[in-house]
Structure 1
């Protein structure tokens, strides 16, 4: 038997299977989709999670033009559903259009891209120009769409029109598949033509999926669910199944069993622990441990290069990038730094996403990050509130890079200085660390808001700096160890390296306080913090990890200055 291979970059089910590509069996999605009580289904999932391939699989199963494709399903789970296959396999005309490449700088350019995509769709069915079931006017409209000379209304109704033509020709209503419907909408929002694209999509999708006698079944994929009042307001036959839904929870992304089987097939079973750390971590509905499929197949095809970030190299959503790098996002920065340190957060997830609210409601960022795959829900708290965390090491690197951009481009810290300073810390060169740390703080700390709970702000600031060494250390904060909760803990992956426990104190300088009095207060706070580390044995977790070399580091903040070593009397810096 010919060994199967990994085929990267092709999402055509027929091509993959006929060319001996390894296909993770998701074929029961076909039956689950068709048997669902909703006539039209919307299934938002993160990018690169198999949406396009799944739609191609559904197309090959139902398409009346692809009767030879029935053999492609031999040996896969759906082939065991004999009655279903006999009743529905290759029995319906299928429309399959992807909008994932429609990104443009203005509406005119966007509409040109839409016309091209619809033209290509119609060209796939140009045999209808010879059909006796279409009249001359319908054929004229058909030709104009192919030539990209039709009017706006014709393109708005083109999906419904094509289903009508196919129904007339074959005598069966069409299965209509729309992939990545929200890509042009997101582009419209970021580039300033949101009103125009929403107006177009309301008719394009609405006419095809509501009150259409030529529709057998419909499936729409994207990243998120745009609020009903914006685009799906008329679709009362729509079933929405998001990453929090129980149904279809294992149909996108690889389950742990599928991942282990895939690795074993290619002789990489021994690499599973590393794969688990890098690419695992998603929870869809009640299915735990969903793996990022793009990263898994990319790793297998290039495993000799080791574990690397693959999914994040496919491009960051510009909407997310723009928002998290904004200067007035202090609370967001603090929260991201908590996530980087391994903590969970509790946030509301709004499945009806309203772009008009995105600029004013900063909390919508967490919905966007979760539905885009940058965060994973790990538990339902109440109503719309979920516990969220960074799913894996690959995504942790994304957020570390974001923090570095804050510290580097936005607030003028050079990466070289940051690396050098943290190198002093992790090699127990505390005097050199203090000197570099003071320099960094002098350049950056005025950008941070110390109102409210200042000690928490200082802690978040330090966590942000430490993000750069996260490849070599597990960075944790506010966890119980020994007799209390430490502020920050650095656990090295290499047990021969230094571990560190950091305790933070914050002081205020009195208006008339003398340098000598301030120095005494700083030294007292340093002693208190050091004593707290020792008394409560905050380093116990390091001992549990067999770390023998431990740095016990108190840090005292006074305004924009940091102190880790005792101050000489009469001198505060």
Structure 2
């Protein structure tokens, strides 16, 4: 009889005690222990079992679970006798930063200090007897959410020393979702101040701690060593392109199909693959999103379960304000094409506004793009990544994001699209000026782009919106070669009853053009002289069914004319 499917079960002990649906990932325990690494950082997308796996590690190693062998009976790890004797044999400190979310530095520090205070509270038995001196007991009691930064930075190391004296064994430290407060710090503008605080805590805990047996951290991103792990030379970093632990997070295809069989859904496997497959870790392909699979097994309905669990605030901001080149890459991805880019897999948050390709690193780490192939070029073997959108679910997430750029600003974007398809110039002008006025600032990178570059950023965001609205009826192309040049935007109809449409965007040259009307004429003239209609004609669109529009920009003013 199929077991119960519990959604969001992240506590390993309660999951096993309740006989809830579980796919065995205990191989992570043996693989990690055999590695011998002092400190391991494993990055995986959100909702990929990081917290459940960390809870599993805690239940396995912690001496607080010394009498809970039942939690592992029947699982892969229990087939090896040496691991049976290892279970429940170490002091363990288990922390999670998953809920550390605040819009200011002081509240973030207090939340982290409150987490550490809770760990101290759970180990108050150390205050009994003469293990600690009176001064140490006094200092123990002073570990509260109001402790100073210096006391906080040493607090985990100090607790490890107390546990060592009590048990005679060094401590295993587990830190889940270590980078959540870092993303918050970047989004809300206190990144530099926060890194000095967290760097001290991490270095004291994981670098200069003689009472540390081993440490494991999990998160979504690999934050640069220089930012938070300075001089931590014993850190083993496992990213989404690393081979180690490749199938320890997420479900393999064999595991998914076996689960579908178990719950009488095997006939749905092709559609399940289309929706939820596509993640790659190292050379392991066909890794499925466990959150979506678990939800599908229970609900038996195809939905964007995973994409609905996050607001994607950081990714949304970075794509919206990205350069035209980045948006062009997103256009290709949205239409099912592969892009090839180079980037550094480590995230330097304070460079995200300046390092153009950092967005690709974040999208890969977050699971929204999959790595099809990595090729190494040149004498220095620089990595170039072949990327595609991961699956149908993530495609829907991007579509909702791009549509939201216009919807959230209260513009008449949909009304503009309707006017465009009808060829109503008057309405197009009214609606486009409304759209431009209310969304230009959304595409500002914060680096004060010029009036010449701002429309370029805007129109590529505009194209992404077109792709969302019209992809069922038109092929949307931008900045492609046709005739004797490169047009800005082309709508190629997929049905014979629709017209082909060419859009050309131009910023007014004040020295050469007396008015926006002159700029419109120049745009239309360019369409004709460069023969941009050649591609539409090649697709079988008759010349009399091709509509051309010139868009003239001056600041936030737009004038549209037809030719």
TM-score range, shorter-chain basis? 0.7 to 0.9
**Does residue 79 of the first structure (1) align with residue 74 of the second (2)?**
no
Structure 1 match to 2:548:
556
Structure 1 match to 2:271:
274
**Does residue 417 of the first structure (1) align with residue 415 of the second (2)?**
yes
**Does residue 361 of the first structure (1) align with residue 355 of the second (2)?**
yes
Q: Whole-Å Cα distance in 1 between the matches of residues 460 and 32 of structure 2?
A: 48
CA distance 1:63–1:533, shift in 2 (3 Å): same
Q: Whole-Å Cα distance in 2 between the matches of residues 439 and 522 of structure 1?
A: 23
Q: Whole-Å Cα distance in 1 between the matches of residues 432 and 223 of structure 2?
A: 42
**Does residue 197 of the first structure (1) align with residue 198 of the second (2)?**
no
**Does residue 26 of the first structure (1) align with residue 25 of the second (2)?**
yes
CA RMSD of aligned residues (A): 4.0
The residue correspondences of 1:70-219 to structure 2 (distance < 5 A) are: 70-83=69-82, 85-130=83-128, 132-145=130-143, 147-219=144-216
Q: 5+ unaligned residues in a row in structure 1: which ranges?
A: 426-430, 479-485, 492-496, 540-549, 562-570
Checking the alignment, whether the CA contact within 8 Å between 2:324 and 2:456 is kept in structure 1 is: no
Q: Deviations over 1:144-195 (max 9, x none)?
A: 22x5454332221111112112121111111110011111122222223323
Q: Whole-Å Cα distance in 2 between the matches of residues 102 and 181 of structure 1?
A: 9
Matched residue SS, 2:30: helix
Q: Whole-Å Cα distance in 1 between the matches of residues 139 and 527 of structure 2?
A: 84
What is the deviation of 1:458?
7.8
Match of 2:344 among 350, 353, 370: 350
What is the deviation of 1:106?
1.8
Q: 5+ unaligned residues in a row in structure 2: which ranges?
A: 377-381, 444-449, 479-488, 554-560
Matched residue SS, 1:235: coil
Structure 2 match to 1:57:
56
What is the deviation of 1:219?
0.3
Q: Whole-Å Cα distance in 2 between the matches of residues 338 and 356 of structure 1?
A: 28
CA distance 1:501–1:177, shift in 2 (3 Å): farther
Q: Whole-Å Cα distance in 1 between the matches of residues 505 and 131 of structure 2?
A: 83
TM-score, length-normalised on structure 1?
A: 0.79
Checking the alignment, whether the CA contact within 8 Å between 1:499 and 1:551 is kept in structure 2 is: no
Matched residue SS, 1:68: coil
Checking the alignment, whether the CA contact within 8 Å between 2:243 and 2:281 is kept in structure 1 is: yes
Structure 2 match to 1:544:
none
Matched residue SS, 1:219: strand
Q: Whole-Å Cα distance in 1 between the matches of residues 71 and 315 of structure 2?
A: 39
**Does residue 296 of the first structure (1) align with residue 300 of the second (2)?**
no
Structure 2 match to 1:240:
237
Q: Whole-Å Cα distance in 2 between the matches of residues 551 and 394 of structure 1?
A: 38
Structure 2 match to 1:564:
none
CA distance 1:247–1:139, shift in 2 (3 Å): same
Q: Deviations over 1:334-366 (max 9, x none)?
A: 322222111222222312322222222232122
Structure 2 match to 1:325:
320
Worse-superposed segment, 151-160 or 31-40: 151-160
Matched residue SS, 1:220: strand
Checking the alignment, whether the CA contact within 8 Å between 1:407 and 1:444 is kept in structure 2 is: yes
Q: Deviations over 1:405-424 (max 9, x none)?
A: 334455x74254257468xx
Matched residue SS, 2:48: coil
**Does residue 17 of the first structure (1) align with residue 16 of the second (2)?**
yes
Match of 2:252 among 252, 255, 277: 255
What is the deviation of 1:439?
6.5
Q: Deviations over 1:489-541 (max 9, x none)?
A: 677xxxxx8898968586999989x99xx89x989969x7777556x5679xx
CA distance 1:37–1:477, shift in 2 (3 Å): farther
Q: How many residues get paired?
A: 524
CA distance 1:18–1:531, shift in 2 (3 Å): same
Structure 2 match to 1:311:
306
Matched residue SS, 1:103: coil
Structure 1 match to 2:469:
468
Matched residue SS, 1:221: strand
Q: Whole-Å Cα distance in 2 between the matches of residues 69 and 240 of structure 1?
A: 31
Q: Whole-Å Cα distance in 2 between the matches of residues 414 and 82 of structure 1?
A: 67
What is the deviation of 1:21?
0.8
Q: Whole-Å Cα distance in 1 between the matches of residues 314 and 375 of structure 2?
A: 27
Q: Whole-Å Cα distance in 1 between the matches of residues 544 and 229 of structure 2?
A: 57
Q: Whole-Å Cα distance in 2 between the matches of residues 473 and 31 of structure 1?
A: 52
Any runs of at least 4 consecutive aligned residues in structure 1 with deviations exceeding 4 A, and if so which?
418-422, 431-452, 454-463, 472-478, 486-491, 497-512, 521-526, 528-534, 536-539, 550-555
Worse-superposed segment, 69-78 or 332-341: 332-341
Q: Whole-Å Cα distance in 2 between the matches of residues 350 and 174 of structure 1?
A: 33
Matched residue SS, 2:222: coil
CA distance 1:5–1:108, shift in 2 (3 Å): same
The residue correspondences of 1:366-377 to structure 2 (distance < 5 A) are: 366-377=360-371
